[in-house]
Amino acid sequence: MAVFAARAGHGACWHPQCFGCTTCGELLVDLIYFYQDGHIYCGRHHAETRRPRCQACDE
C-alpha cells in the first residue's frame, strides 16, 4: 500500500507510516497536508514556515 500526494508531483509516493509532518512527525494519511519545498507539513507547522508563532501565547 502507498500514499500518493498529488501536490508532490506525479509518481511521488510514501508508505502510509512514513507520510507525516516533517517537523512533528504527525501521520497525515487521513488529514490535510501541505507540501512545500519538498517537505510535508501538518497545518500548524506549515503556518509556522510562513509566520512564526508568538512564544508567549502560541498564536
CATH number (domain holding residue 39): 2.10.110.10
Would 46 be classed as within a structural domain?
yes
Would 27 be classed as within a structural domain?
yes
Each residue's pLDDT tens digit, 1-56: 889 988 898 889 999 999 999 999 999 999 999 999 999 999 999 988 888 778 78
- pTM value? 0.79
Do the beta carbons of residue 40 and residue 22 sit within 8 Å? yes
Do the beta carbons of residue 21 and residue 40 sit within 8 Å? yes
pLDDT the model gives residue 15: 95
50: enclosing H helix or E strand: helix 43-50
CA distance 49 to 11: 25
Residue-wise DSSP of 3-48? EE-GGG-TT-EE-GGG-B-TTT--B-TTS--EEETTEEE-HHHHHH
User: Is residue 57 very low, low, confident or very high in pLDDT (cuts 50, 70, 90)?
Assistant: confident
Would 58 be classed as within a structural domain?
no
Would 30 be classed as within a structural domain?
yes
pLDDT the model gives residue 56: 86
**Number of domains the chain is built from:** 1
pLDDT the model gives residue 3: 92
